[in-house]
Every structure is written in C-alpha cells, then in structure tokens.
Structure 1
C-alpha cells in the first residue's frame, strides 16, 4: 500500500510554534477577517472582495508610479520603464476583475445595494491619488475626503508634486526647447495640451533612433493609458449591466458620470501626434 506523502521527509518545515509562518508574514488573519458583510445576501461577499482586491492592486500601482517618477527625476529612465510596464500589468489584472463582478446580476446587487448607504468607489482616495499622479488633477475631488484630514493632506501633497507626465515633459525638455508656461505650470491644476509639447513628441516619433529613450518613455506612457482606458471602459460596461442608468450610491450620475470620464486624456499629445505622422 502506498504511504501518503510526507513533505517533512523532504525537508519541508512543519513546526511554526515559535517561527514566522506564511500567514504571519502576510498578516492573513487580519486580511481574511476584513470582509464584513452588512446583509445575509450571497453576492455581497463578491462585491466586497472585488473592491478590496482592487484597492490592494491600486496600492501597488501607487508604489510603482512613485518609484517610476523618482527614477525619471534621477535620470534612471530604464528603471522607470520596468516600473511603468508593471503598472500596465496591474491594470490588466484590474480589468480582468470586472469579468468576475459581471457574474453578479441586477437582482443579486439590488438585494444588498441599500446596505451600501452613500459609499461608492467614487470615494476611493487611492484611485484619486493615481489620477492626480498621472496628471488628471481636479481640486474639487478633494471634497469627498474632507471628513478625513489625513487623506486630504495626502492628496494635497500629491498635487504639490509634478505629475508623472510633468516629469516626462521635463525629460523631453532636455532635448527640445519648451515654453516656460509648460515647464513651470501651476501643479495642482489639470495639465492643458500645448502645441510645442506635441511638436516635440512628434519629432521623437519621426526620428526614434535619434531619441530612443524618449521614444520608449512615450510608448510606456501610452501603454499605461491604454490599459487605464480599458479599465474605465470595463467599469462603465459593468455598471450599466448591473444597475442600468440609476444614479450611483455616492450620488454621481452613475453610467453618465463614468462615460464622461472616458473622454479624459492623461497624456494628450502622445495620442494627438499620431494623426500627424
């Protein structure tokens, strides 16, 4: 008779009484007890885990974006490229998560929707921080966090820094002359497209061999925004599939608000120049 396999005989550690285990390292007790449902409906667990895991991925995206920005500022472009590629893959994961949430029908969601109160993904401070970091800056978006001075301070600190695109434009200015109103703009305000910036990026694309590092940077940014746009589109589609055109729990127009966000361009000149090539 075949004996059951015993991993200990191959050297696997089996006793963790006074040692760090997998669960200890990952704080799994805390993590797996954070799914507090407010109703006894089946699909509320899916809804909570979907959003909690999205917040974890966004935390990693922020970690990588901050490091990428610092690397670019420090002249370490290739290190930044790796980090930006990772952020694109993070948003690929976030995109796939919508497929799971779309298994929830309107009837499933309606059964527990009232328990959400006024809470909404619109209020995610990490999502707002990502948008601010990428350049979509709007100080009106600080208001949902006014009840948390610590979060307002975090977001205001981000607004005081150059966005990732500001840093990319600074790198562009090392090879091309750009106007002062671009290089020394009011950082908390949303970036406005500029003809001189588009002309410079266009030259990079016309002569990539002469400006390879800038060319690669531009494509990493386009990759990132491509995945980010898909995430927004999947968000709209999922919301429309589940609640139709009802208002969001946080008071936004729901689908109408999300569709408006689809028109937002993070790195506008990098998209507009393609028409000129």
Structure 2
C-alpha cells in the first residue's frame, strides 16, 4: 500500500455526475489538509462534528415545516416529520460514540487547535435551542386553546388518545431525545477532559450539566407528576373482598 497515493485520492476525489450533484469536492475539502493534521484522530474529530452540524441543519429545517403544519392542524404531516426528527436525534447521539475511540491525550492535542472556541458555540445547536418556544406556541394555539383543551384534559380528564395527545407525545419524544443527546455529550466530555476542568473559554464544564437538566416542554413533563400525585392517593388501598 502506498499511503501518499491514497491520501492524494482522498483529497482529490474522482468527480462524476453523482459527485458533482453532491459537490463532493467541496464537501471533502471542508476538513484540514491531511498533511496539517495534528494527529491521526483529527480527521475523525472534524468529520463527526461537521456531520453533527449537518444533522442539526436538517432538524431545524424540518422543525420549521413542523410549525407550519401545527398551525394548519395537519396532524399526519406533523407526526411524520417529527418521526424524522426523532431518527435524526438518535443518529446524532449514536455517532458521538466514535469520539470515545480517542485517547485523552489525542483529544487534548486536537482541543488546542480550537483556539478560543468550544462546542458551546455550535451554530446548529444554538439555533435548535430557539425552536422549542415556536413549536409550543403553535401546538398550544392549534391543539390546546383552539380546541378548548388543557394539558390535563389531553392526558387525563378527557383523554381519548386523539390528535392533541399524539402530537404532544411527538413533542415530548423530541425533548427526551435531545436531553439524551446532551447527556451523552456530557459523558463524552467527562471521559475526554473531565468534568472538573474548565473549557477553553474558562467556563466550568458543569454548565453543561445544568443544560442537561433543561426541558423544552415542561408542561408535558409536569402533567405526569401531577397525575401520579392524584392517582397515587389510591395506591395501597385494600380492595374489598
């Protein structure tokens, strides 16, 4: 095997119609030149994070359409597109495992290349964090207030497993999967640089722990506690013989 030859082919791909359509030459040029990599794992580090940005771009693009369909009360389209978002979130979380194949030292060498940057500056992540309030407003207007329903009605008092319930569950699944992504990312940081360290900007990494406790749709989580408290009064009641 002649390594320089393979490297040359990696950096100058053969371009036919498929590659031209996908702009593979531009896509594969988004990483540092192989000769400038600080170590053998930097290519993986860049690709994983770049792919994460692409998935977040697609998630945000999809959620913008979801807001429109919520406003139209087009439940079938909402559920279909939220299913796409759920799959994307699972892929984002699963691919973080690739970064656990790096040693702490290799990670530190790459980390120095970020300059003053950190993952907290991710443009895709920051944009995604802006979406939940718009989703909730559209859901509340179309599936709660517009139908004379409360969250309590949907889940308990007037529960019928109808459109409002199905859409609410699609939203809370997105919320859950996003928090799982955050939790996995937190453990990745724990494994690579430790939770007692400081980020490159001098901010405690524990800030990420606080973010992992955040919920997009607290009303959908709180109703479960409220139901348990109400129904819990009957627990332990001895049945009549």
**Residue 9 of structure 2: aligned partner:** none
Shift of 1:39: 3.8
Alignment of 1:70-219 (within 5 A): 70-135=68-133, 163-171=134-142, 172-176=144-148, 200-206=150-156, 207-209=158-160, 212-219=162-169
* TM-score of the pair, normalised by structure 1: 0.71
Aligned to 2:175: 225
Q: 1:124 to 1:203 in 2, by over 3 A?
A: same
Measured on the aligned residues, the alpha-carbon RMSD in Å equals 1.7
**Is the counterpart of residue 235 in structure 1 residue 185 in structure 2?**
yes
- Residues 104 and 20 of structure 1: is their aligned pair in 2 closer, same or farther, counting only changes over 3 Å? closer
CA distance in 2, matches of 1:205, 1:234: 30
How far residue 47 of structure 1 moved from its aligned partner, in angstroms, is: 1.0
CA distance in 2, matches of 1:267, 1:86: 19
Runs ≥4 in structure 1, deviation > 4 angstroms? none
Deviation at 1:175, TM superposition (A): 1.8
| Pairing 1:272–2:193 present | no
Pairwise CA distance, 1:252: 2.6
Alignment partner of 2:182: what SS? helix
Please name the residue that 1:139 is paired with: none
Structure 2 residue ranges without an equivalent (≥5)? 1-14, 228-241
| 1:89 Cα deviation from its structure 2 partner | 0.9
Asked if structure 1 preserves the Cα contact closer than 8 Å seen for 2:42 and 2:110, the reply is: yes
Secondary structure of 2:30's counterpart equals coil
Would the alpha carbon gap of residues 98 and 22 (structure 1) be closer, same or farther in structure 2, given more than 3 Å must change? same
In the alignment, structure 1 segments of 5+ residues that lack a partner are 1-18, 136-162, 178-199
Q: CA deviation at 1:20?
A: 6.6
